[in-house]
Amino acid sequence: MHIGIDVGGTNTDAVLVDRTHVLEAVKNPTTSDVTSGIIGALDDLAAGRPFDPQDIDAVAIGTTHFTNAVVQARGLASTAAIRLGLPAAAGVPPLTAWPRRLRLALGDHVYLCSGGHEFDGREISPLDEDELRRVAADLAAKGVRSAAITSIFSPVNAEVELRAAEILRAELPELRVSLSHEIGRVGLLERENATVINASLLPVAEQITNAFLKALDKAGIDAPLYLSQNDGTLMDVDYVRRYPVATFAAGPTNSMRGAAVLSGLSDCIVVDVGGTTTDVGAVVGGFPRPATTEVDIGGVRTNFRMPDVVSIGIGGGSRVTLGDTPVIGPESVGFLIHQEAMVFGGSTLTATDIAVAGGRLRLGDPSLVAHLDRADVRRCQQAIAERVAVLADSMRTSAEPIPMVLVGGGSVLLPEEMPGFDAVVRPEHFAVANAIGAAIAQVGGEVDKVYSGQDLDREDILAEAKAEARQKALLAGATADSIRIVEVDELPMAYLPGNAVRVRVKAVGDLIFGGSR
């Protein structure tokens, strides 16, 4: 058996799963410190379906800890942004477009140094090792403990980033280092931004994973801990401590993976209605469709892998103002819904109250919303359905019919028929699809590189990229015979010479179960 947990802004959901069969599911309010909510969820699982902690093979958690740290600019490490690219790449220095509060939170330490390569691997300028030693001395004087190293076209040739890290660590053995070729994609500025964010989160990753491990210890569970990534796969504790940025948007991703498994649909539009927001995404081949544009994280443009998700401020805790044109959200009572919603004796009219008044949900005390005007309630329900349907329709890529899958506890706000969709599915255990997505997740590996067509033909390029993706999945903990290629994208780069092509390959496989942490 294994356990899946998803920490949302309103609820912390947990499931006990025997491979893909759900044995027990619980939904608790998220606590302010999050970790105690996880302990409570584990306790409730054991109370609802007693199990021997030694029978748990793995625990997978999807968390908002790291996203919240960046959005709130809290707990981030003082971080140096080191770019290797002189004499080129000096026009737009690192952190240029960052929000001021985030720059200040990281200390605004920027260094431009020699190095980098062209797209075909040719050197721009030699790495100046003495220059890097002077940077290390400056970091030591300022007490900076984290560094992000980015060089031009490092996804093609990473040797200068690797050498720079060696030099800095030799001078500063305690320095935490993130390398851009391991984190972002080809574009320099967005890849650099993602790497700086990752480096700033390294101490947070250490604290959070330790807290999760202690929570498992308290529950008597001696099983490997995994965290959900934003591509629908899992990563172990050591990986999280190196790449915490990979957890961003894990919640919507888990919901989409869970929706695909629960509904049995490999291609669908998933609508996940939580307590605060409704997230809509597309599932293709059983996995979330990746975003093709830059992703904004706390006001910073990044280009690491993220699911293509759009959101709207409608959820079970959304504040509602009735009338001819009802107003729903975006403000939400969040995890205080059990104190503030009218059906629980509170004074705030929420979307959950509307669902109860309209007969779609039995929760709390229905008599407390019996006074609401029936016409107002119907108008509000219709407005919610129409706004969500328009958002879902925007995720289509063709006019072909595609089913909609409704998941999340707040999906009870929506009717069984949605405008513009012929088939609407609300599967069993829909309310905890996010935790199920975490529990059944696989592990994977991804390659995103630029290749020169002058050196290799197309078949050799694809074979090399697929082999590297498989190897990454294997190193991540997948069983060798289960690994398969699920995505292959080729993009000719006409603005570069030499028949250059950008290739992205993703491989996934089943997690190796057994053993302890």
Q: What is the CATH number of the domain that holds 135?
A: 3.40.50
Q: Report the amino acid identity of residue 143.
A: G
pLDDT for residue 93 is more than 60: yes
Rg over CA atoms, the chain: 24
pLDDT band at 516 (very low <50, low <70, confident <90, very high): very low
Distance CA 106, CA 108 (A): 6
pLDDT of 190 over the 80 cut: yes
Tell whether 123 is covered by a domain: yes
Mean pLDDT of the chain: 86
Residue 190 in domain? yes
In a domain, 72, yes or no: no
pLDDT computed for residue 494 by the predictor: 60
Q: Which amino acid is at 138?
A: D
Q: Any idea which of 145-159, 188-202, 203-217, 303-317 has the lowest mean pLDDT? A: 303-317
What's the average model confidence in pLDDT over 444-462?
Answer: 80
Judged by phi (left if over 0) then psi (alpha if -120 to 50, else beta), residue 414 lies in beta
Which range has the worst mean pLDDT, 167-181, 373-387, 451-465?
A: 451-465
Residue 228 φ/ψ, nearest 5 degrees: -75, 140
What integer is the mean pLDDT of 63-86?
86
Last residue of a domain, one of 142, 171, 200: 200
What is the pairing mode between strands 484-492 and 500-509? antiparallel
User: 157 lies in which domain range?
Assistant: 77-200
Q: Output 75 or 150, whichever has higher pLDDT.
A: 150
Of the listed ranges 110-114, 391-395, 472-476, the one predicted with least confidence: 472-476
Map residue 351 onto helix, strand or coil: helix
Q: What is the pLDDT of residue 332?
A: 84
Burial status of residue 327 (CB atoms within 10 A of its CB: 0-12, 13-18, 19 or more) = middle
Once rounded to an integer, what is the mean pLDDT over residues 376-384? 91
Q: What is the pTM (predicted TM-score) of this model?
A: 0.76
Flag whether pLDDT at 258 surpasses 60.
yes
Across 314-320, average pLDDT:
88
Last residue of a domain, one of 200, 221, 253: 200
- At 496 the pLDDT is 61
Question: Contact at 8 Å (CB) between 265 and 406?
Answer: no
Query: Does 407 fall in a domain?
Result: no
pLDDT digits (tens, 9 = 90+) for 327-336: 987 888 877 8
Q: Which of 200, 226, 256 is the last residue of a domain?
A: 200
- Stretch 510-517: mean pLDDT: 57
Residue 490 lies in a domain: yes
pLDDT at 306 over 80: no
Q: Evaluate whether residue 71 is within a structural domain.
A: no
Cβ–Cβ < 8 Å for 177, 169: yes
Residues 257-281 have a mean pLDDT of 89
Indicate the pLDDT class of residue 239, thresholds 50, 70 and 90.
Answer: confident
Looking at residue 113, its pLDDT comes to: 94
**Nearest C-alpha neighbor of 255 from the set 235, 243, 269, 245:** 269
Is position 156 within any domain? yes
Helix or strand or coil: residue 178?
Answer: strand
DSSP string, 369-421: GTTS-HHHHHHHHHHHHHHHHHHHHTT-SSSS---EEEESGGGGGS-SS-TT-
Indicate whether 166 belongs to any domain. yes
Q: How many domains would you assign to the chain?
A: 2
User: CA nearest 319: which of 340, 344, 345, 349?
Assistant: 349
Encode pLDDT of 490-506 as tens digits: 877 665 666 778 888 88
Alpha carbons 62 and 144: distance in angstroms, whole number: 30
Question: What is the structure's pLDDT at 515?
Answer: 43
